[in-house]
């Protein structure tokens, strides 16, 4: 009988632990998305557009049109967070974002900022089916 009580207590605390860790992660994610959105509006919307569709005010004067950042998932069938992070930081060669040896955002934004931006972008992805073929 005693053992049963102990077991129940252990089980209950495990559940609580799991719940709080999980809830914490969700909360953190929301916060990251919110911070990412702020960063996005200050640093990225001029080219990629406030709605991330690629229609920012600077877009028309660029040689290469900024891509619709809501379609990263739809184009690849998955959201490759690490590649997006590298793209923003300038680790991957991306002409409008500086070269590997001269990253633009990687020098201005912290790693945490960039992670928040990636979380924000992930949160605005359109579903795979809803996309017209291109």
Phi/psi at 90 (nearest 5 deg)? Answer: 95, 15
33 binds ligand HEC, rule: CB under 6 A: no
58 binds ligand HEC, rule: CB under 6 A: yes
Residue 111 CB contacts under 8 Å (≥ 6 apart), including other chains: 89
Q: How far is the CB of 31 from ligand HEC (least distance, A)?
A: 18
Across 47-60, b (16+ Cβ under 10 Å) vs e yields bbbeebebbbeebe
- Residue 45 CA to residue 120 CA, distance in Å, equals 13
Closest CB to ligand HEC among residues 24, 57: 57
64 binds ligand HEC, rule: CB under 6 A: yes
89 binds ligand HEC, rule: CB under 6 A: no
Best CA proximity match to 66, nearest among 56, 77, 76: 56
Closest CB to ligand HEC among residues 1, 42: 42
Closest CB to ligand HEC among residues 3, 61: 61
Q: Which of 33, 72, 74, 89 binds ligand HEC (CB under 6 A)?
A: 72
- Residue 58 CA to residue 56 CA, distance in Å, equals 5
Q: How far is the CB of 28 from ligand HEC (least distance, A)?
A: 20
Q: Which of 66, 90, 103, 106 binds ligand HEC (CB under 6 A)?
A: 66
Closest CB to ligand HEC among residues 16, 62: 62
- Residue 23 CA to residue 74 CA, distance in Å, equals 28
């Amino acid at each position: 009988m005693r053992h049963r009580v102990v077991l129940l207590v252990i089980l209950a605390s495990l559940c609580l632990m799991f719940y709080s860790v999980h809830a914490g992660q969700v909360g953190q994610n929301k916060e990251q998305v919110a911070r990412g959105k702020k960063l996005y509006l200050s640093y990225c919307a001029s080219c990629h557009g406030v709605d991330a569709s690629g229609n920012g005010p600077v877009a028309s004067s660029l040689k290469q049109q900024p891509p619709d950042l809501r379609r990263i998932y739809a184009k690849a069938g998955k959201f490759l967070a690490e590649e997006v992070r590298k793209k923003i930081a300038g680790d991957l060669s991306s002409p409008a974002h500086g070269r590997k040896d001269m990253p633009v955002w990687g020098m201005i934004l912290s790693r945490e900022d960039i992670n928040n931006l990636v979380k924000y972008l992930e949160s605005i992805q359109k579903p795979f089916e809803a996309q017209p073929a291109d």
